[in-house]
Amino acid sequence: MPISSLPSKYGIGCFSKEAYLFIDQLKESGQRYWQILPLGPTGYGDSPYQSFSTFAGNPYFIDLEDLIEEGLLQSAECEAYDFGDNSRYVDYEKIYLSRFKILKKAYQRSRIDQDKAFKAYELENEFWLKDYALYMAVKNQFGGVSWNEWDEDIRLRDPDALKSYEKELKDEVGFYKFLQYTFAKQWQKLKRYANESGIQIIGDIPIYVAFDSADSWSHAELFQFDQFKNPTALAGCPPDGFSATGQLWGNPLYNWAYHKQTSYAWWIQRISYCFQLYDVVRIDHFRGFDQYYSIPFGAVTAENGHWEKGPGIDLFQNLNRQLGEMNIIAEDLGYVTDSVRKLVKDSGYPGMKVLEFAFDSREKSDYMPHNYERNCVVYTGTHDNDTIKGWYQSIVPADRQLSIDYMGNEKTELKDIHWDFIRLALSSVAQLAIIPIQDYLGLDTEARMNQPSTLGNNWKWRLLTGEITKELLNKMNKLTALYGRK
């Protein structure tokens, strides 16, 4: 369940008392892991996979009530803003128009420059924080447009221009540093509480960074850019079951030759930082390390892309030498070649199995539980899938019958069908089973988190206060124990 889906005040889930309650509920129900979506500040389409920074945290997740307790805000001030009035779905436009205004008040009262802990944080994170804070300040100065539309001197990071903007936008730069310090302080406190409760956090990172990000602006050498900092090709994936024209993600592709020359220094820095935030890291689109799909810059769909060779096992051997053994989950979904299977196997990381992909009456499937090896993680579905109940109602009769034959559940009513798939996941040999909270609640399609290749209606779903009942927690606990997963 994403942080944004927690049922807290002010329009979006955050590091509030409800987050601590959710951890208590996880403990009570016998769970040991909580998987979340990427924590970065969201950009285009409100997607956590299109972030303004691979290192920064999302200011939306800062708990305003904590700032009230610190004396930096007043309840009446927070309640004066319109954060949306639908507790089931996030209204991102209203959040965007209100959240930064109220956080700016807290910053102006914070006297953050006199805080020794902040100074230590600033120094420790200087390798990304300075560029990110300036990036956001300049971005605001230019009306929010992407950095490739800025004036040439700052777009190309002319040293004099950098100094000039740092001086002119000093207060705004300070504001963005304050946000990151506050985010980090609140997140680390929540993570400690989870760990002390026996819960490990599974983080999620996209393989790529967004083009509209501090990373691509400040480190052009990492990417396939020309001399004017324009991308020569972009990331995506070819036509598949999700999209007939493929997916044009728009992320810049890595200059893997450069990364190899530096012994993957940036990747080591990135993954090391991730393990400060999370206990386990799921890397999205793992197949991109074997081969990545390259789409010519300027294309309007992903249909005319081609495959290029990625860094392969060399990257992970370097990571292991520098960081030791890492608890990583490889997202190896979609069209998987033999070379991708070999890379996942050679890395030693568990891959992913999704039950919604198992029941295709037209062909045999690696996602059928009897084909699993122990070194994998099973999901009923992911954030990119419909809920189990929504999916089950949408599949063709032959696929539904296949699932009935497989599980022997002819008498199961639709209202309880999610429990059959949950049992199937928990009873499998997979070393880890992850169940979306929407499936535990037996919710329909209206609770879907994301539909790939669509915009405007994603990443919005939220849990309602009191929706997780004692009865549900007891049932989760019973099944977890029954299948030896406690």
Active-site residue numbers? 284, 331, 384
Residues in contact with 48: Cβ distance below 8 Å, sequence separation at least 6, in sequence order: 2, 37, 38, 39, 40, 42, 58, 204, 459
- The alpha carbon dihedral of 21, 85, 79, 118 has a sign of positive
Structure letter (DSSP) for residue 455: -
Half-sphere exposure of 273 (CA within 13 A, CB side): 21
Helices 313-323, 338-347: crossing angle, 10 deg rounding:
10
Query: Is residue 422 within 8 Å of 369, Cβ to Cβ?
Result: no
CA distances from 147 to 165, 170, 215, 298, 444 (A): 14, 19, 11, 17, 40
**CB-CB neighbours of 455 under 10 Å:** 10
Scored b (16 or more CB within 10 A) or e, 133-162 reads bbbbbbbeeeeeebbeebeeebbebeeebb
Contacts with 93 (C-beta within 8 Å, 6 or more apart), sequence order? none
Collect all residues with Cβ–Cβ distance below 8 Å to 458 and sequence separation of at least 6. Answer: 45, 46, 47, 449, 450, 451
Give the C-alpha separation, 152 to 260, whole Å: 30
- The 3-state DSSP class for residue 461 equals strand
Nearest by Cα to 139 from 252, 49, 43, 38 = 43
Please answer whether residues 312 and 290 qualify as being in contact, where contact means their C-beta atoms are separated by less than 8 angstroms. Answer: yes
439 contact partners, CB below 8 Å, separation of at least 6: 380, 381, 387, 388, 389, 418, 421, 422
- The values of phi and psi at residue 382, to 5°, are -115, -175
389 to 28, 181, 393: CA distances (angstroms): 25, 41, 6
- Number of C-beta neighbours around residue 245 at 10 A: 13
Structure tokens at 77: 């001030």
